[in-house]
Structure 1
Amino acid sequence: MFTDADAAALYDLLNPWDGARHPGDAFYDGLVMTAHAVLDVGCGTGSMLRQARERGHRGRLVGLDPDPAALDRARRRTDIEWVAGVAADASWDREFDLATMAGNAFQYFVGDEELSTSLVAIRRALRDGGRFAFDTRNFQVRAWEEWKPSNASEVVDGNGRTLRVSHHVESVVDDVVTFAETTSAHDGTVLRIDRTSLRFLEVSKLGAFLSEAGFEIEAQYGGWQHEPVSDASRSIVTIARRT
């Protein structure tokens, strides 16, 4: 068996939060450390908030995620609020200076209604002038074309097992990509298959959703060094402000 807890632990191995090595992590670290109250939407295993606390953040830190196994790992740190749920159901009202969605988590908002409802709830959670920072892959670059079994990753887990993680795209419908992630043992035995759908929004459509929810774009970049957005930008990094 390869359990949900195993999958959460594997995620941390494959995606270690490290601002010294990863510019994207450093970008969010800078925002979080200067905000008094932070809501991390789609916090996963909570690495960003846990490290913020370790570096001396003294304010309120709240992580929201629907994955129980990921939150179980996050809750090893007890001086942060960990909440099970999704953004659309959140009921905070003007409690945070900053909301974040790191690691392309924003792309999990697939349907128009889910996206709109989630943005409204995130805006409501922010104080007047509060900011929402997130990143999403650029539709124009078509990153999903690289998600092939031949580009698999290998890692040794905490039990000494060599695991192989590969991806296979099953469908591309308009701007929604559905793919399977397969975790296998070193000998090729399939341990787990997870299917996910992600939405790749173009810049103009993204801006329209934000405006409709009551945000204005404060800044938008095509990379972590504040590069301008272009068709060749792999990421669209957005800071939106509650109006």
Structure 2
Amino acid sequence: MFSDADAAALYDLLNPWDPDHRPGDRFSMELVMAADSVLDVGCGTGSMLHVARERGHRGRLVGLDPDGVALARAQRRADVEWVEGTAASAGWEAEFELATMTGHAFQCLITDDDVRTSLAAVHAALRTGGRFVFETRHPQARAWEDWNPSNPSDIVDLVDPAGRALRVWHEVQSLVGDLVTFTGTTAQPDGTVLRVDRATLRFLDVTAIDAFLSEAGFEIEAQYGDWYRAPITGTSREIITIARRVPPPGGRL
């Protein structure tokens, strides 16, 4: 058996939050540590907010995720607020200086309605002038082409927290428009399959992202093509966006 709780623990092992050695984590952590109140949308197992507390963040930290198993793992730390749900179901009003979506979580919003309702909720949760930072994989890089077991770098052999030797790989099932559906397989080293998870991600381009943000009442403060703040070019693999909530025309919020 390889349970949902096992999968959540494995996720942390495969994706450690390490701002000292991972430039993407460092980019987000600098923004989090500078903000007095932070909403982490799609917080998963809560690693980013755990580290923020460990490093001395004294303000309000809230993690939001619809995955109750991942959130249960996050709740090992009690000095952060943990909320089960989606951005669209949340009801915060002007309570946060910063909202984040890390780990390419924005790509889990696979329909226009998903994007619009989530952005509207994040916009409502931020104070005027508050910022929303998130990243997506740039579709021009076609990252999904590397997600297959014939790519040696996609196959990971490791020992999980329970002491089991495991092998993990991915495989794309379909590409339809801007949606990529793939599976993630967890197996024993001999190939005996323990678990197969299926997911769909959306690969929006810069024009589409900016249009959704503008419609939701955000302005683009900055966009980068990598974690070192380089501009987006024809070879960029990421679209890293910092958007700011602006006051409505003729009004103040």
Matches within 5 A, 1:63-142: 63-142=63-142
SS in 1 for 2:169: strand
Where does the alignment leave 5 or more consecutive residues of structure 1 unmatched? none
Does 2:209 correspond to 1:216?
no
Q: Secondary structure at the match of 1:226?
A: coil
Q: Could you tell me how far 1:161 is from its partner in structure 2?
A: 1.2
RMSD: 0.7
Q: Unaligned regions of 5+ residues in structure 2, if any?
A: 247-253
Give CA deviations for 1:79-108 in whole Å, capped at 9, x if unaligned: 100000011111100000000001101100
Instruction: Give SS of 1:159's match.
Output: coil
1:185 aligned partner: 188
- The answer to whether 1:173 aligns with 2:179 is no
Letter in 1 for 2:240: V
Q: Which amino acid aligns with 1:87?
A: A
Is 1:30 the counterpart of 2:30? The answer is yes
SS at match of 1:224: coil
Match of 1:58? Answer: 58
1:9 aligns with 2:9: yes
**One-letter identity of the residue aligned with 1:163:** L
SS in 1 for 2:239: strand
1:197 is aligned with what amino acid? T
Letter in 2 for 1:38: V
Specify the alignment match of 2:249 in structure 1: none
Q: Does 1:162 align with 2:165?
A: yes
* Secondary structure, counterpart of 1:128 in structure 2: strand
Offset of 1:231 from its aligned partner?
2.2
Equivalence for 1:226:
229
Alpha-carbon separation, structure 1, partners of 2:226 and 2:168: 26
CA distance in 1, matches of 2:163, 2:78: 28
- How many pairs align? 243
Structure 1 residue 155 displacement after superposition: 1.4
Helix, strand or coil: the match of 1:149? coil
**Matched position secondary structure for 1:10:** helix
Q: Which amino acid in the other structure matches residue 46 of structure 1?
A: G
CA distance in 1, matches of 2:169, 2:3: 17
TM-score by length of 1: 0.99
Provide the rounded CA distance (Å) in 2 between the counterparts of 1:29 and 1:72.
Answer: 22
Normalising to structure 2: TM-score of the pair? Answer: 0.95
Cα distance in 2, alignment partners of residues 8 and 18 from structure 1: 17
1:157 Cα deviation from its structure 2 partner: 0.6
